[in-house]
Amino acid sequence: MTPHSPLFRVEADAARQPKPAPLLMVSLDGFLDAGHVRSMLSEHLLDTLEHEVVATFDTDELVDYRSRRPLMTFDADHYTDYDDPSLILYRVQDAAGEPFLLLHGTEPDFRWEGFVEAVRQLSLAFGVRRMVSAHGIPMAVPHTRPVGTTRFASDRSVLGDHTPLFGQVRVPSSADSLLHLRLAESGMLTMGVAVHVPHYLAETQFGDATVAAADTLMDLTGLVLPTAELIAAAGLTRGRIEEELEGNEEAKEVVEGLEKRYDHFLEGQRRKSLLAAEAANLPSADEIGAQLEAFLRDPDAGDPAPEDPSTDQTDQTDQDGSGQEGGGRS
């Protein structure tokens, strides 16, 4: 079904009869993921949605074991278990029965370009036309305010009226971001969302961010994802956070300071929007220039017509009526 690659092995059933799946969701562990958004979401999908393995990547070719040191279990006098890294392509059905592919596992350390080409080959074989991913980024925001997101896409038209928060910046690369770039260059639509996670919760599982990621992915892709359990877990997480804050005055002050800064920022954005709306009603530079040229050609063209003295006299006479003649007879 696809050209041979030393980086992956296609399952026998998928190789004989590949079932189309127009969307590829990528979830690679190992790079920036504040609030554990990426891992929580992918594990939740695999726990709640019907899925099957269609391809497995060779981690011996892609992973630096000495830098990651997978964990092993030593029980008294012998080794009993080994957490070997994995990178697996699943075919998943969303809650409405629509198929999509989920690439989940360890981010490759080596051969990124070869890995991207392997993913491209698999995408072609399964009829993938769009790629999407989600992760968390730490931000100086409070957990008591709505979770913000930064959406991105190779075609800006799919983002709607989303207003970018960042300008042009240079950031460390990842295998995920390289997939976005290279697959877009090959003609595929790539999309993603970075969820804004309070920096003081970056190392914990922040459920609200995972819910925001799921909601945004559904909005971008049309998938129907189960979120009831995520929402319930997020509520429990908020309760634990509030309990911890109640016993830590210093932490409460930090959160209150972030709330003030957040609210001030939103007020500034609101005023900017109002000014933009008012500016939209002002004449453009071209319109002002056209009016100025017209005035210079005929300065009197825009002046009101002068009053006719005879008309004024007639009006006055009309006001007096025949009273002057009547007064003479009297």
Q: Which CATH number does the domain housing residue 172 bear?
A: 3.40.50.10900
Give the mean pLDDT of the chain. 86
Residue 326's pLDDT band (cuts 50, 70, 90): very low
Tell me: the pLDDT tens digits for 235-250? 999 999 999 888 888 9
Residues 84, 216 within the same domain: yes
- pLDDT for 182 beyond 90: yes
Q: Is residue 1 part of a domain?
A: no
Which whole number is the average pLDDT over 137-163?
92
Residue 133 lies in a domain: yes
* Residue pLDDT, tens place only, 76-114: 999 999 999 999 999 999 999 999 999 999 999 999 999
pLDDT value, residue 329: 40
Tell whether 264 and 159 lie within a shared domain.
no
pLDDT at 257: 93
Q: Is the pLDDT of residue 316 over 50?
A: no
Give 77's contacts (C-beta < 8 A, 6+ positions apart). none
Does position 70 have pLDDT exceeding 70, yes or no?
A: yes
Same domain, 268 and 203: no
Is the pLDDT assigned to residue 311 strictly greater than 80? no
Domain count along the chain = 2
Query: Is 76 inside any structural domain?
Result: yes
Pair (213, 272) in one structural domain: no
pLDDT for 188 beyond 90:
yes
Q: Is residue 187 part of a domain?
A: yes
> Do 137 and 38 share a structural domain?
yes
State residue 18's pLDDT score: 82
pLDDT at 40: 97
Is the CB of residue 154 less than 8 Å from the CB of residue 180? yes
Question: Is 319 part of a structural domain of the chain?
Answer: no
Same domain, 182 and 41: yes
User: Is residue 311, in this structure, part of any structural domain at all?
Assistant: no
Instruction: Answer yes or no: is 304 within a domain.
Output: no
Helix 37-48 to helix 207-221 angle, to the nearest 10 degrees? 70
Domain check: are 137 and 215 in the same one? yes
Domain range for 75: 8-226
In the prediction, which pLDDT does 294 show?
Answer: 61
Angstrom CA distances, 8 to 98, 120, 236, 257, stand at 25, 12, 40, 50
pLDDT of residue 280: 52
pLDDT one-digit tens code per residue, 212-237: 999 999 999 999 999 999 999 999 99
User: In this predicted structure, what is the pLDDT of residue 90?
Assistant: 97
Residues 271 and 211 in one domain: no
Decide: residue 238, CB within 10 A, 0-12 exposed, 13-18 middle, 19+ buried: middle
Lowest mean pLDDT among 163-172, 238-247, 308-317: 308-317
Does position 327 have pLDDT exceeding 50, yes or no? no
Of 2, 284, 297, which is closest to residue 123 (Cα–Cα)? 2
Residue type (1 letter), 240: R
Q: Is residue 7 a contact partner of residue 114, using CB atoms and an 8 Å limit?
A: yes
In-domain check, residue 288: yes
Give the Cα separation of 151 and 163 in Å (integer).
Answer: 9
Whether residues 65 and 210 fall in one domain = yes
Whether 39 and 171 map to the same domain: the answer is yes
pTM metric for this prediction: 0.79
Same domain, 207 and 255: no
Q: What phi, psi does 300 have (nearest 5°)?
A: -90, -5
pLDDT digits (tens, 9 = 90+) for 292-305: 566 556 655 545 55
Residues 253 and 222 in one domain: no
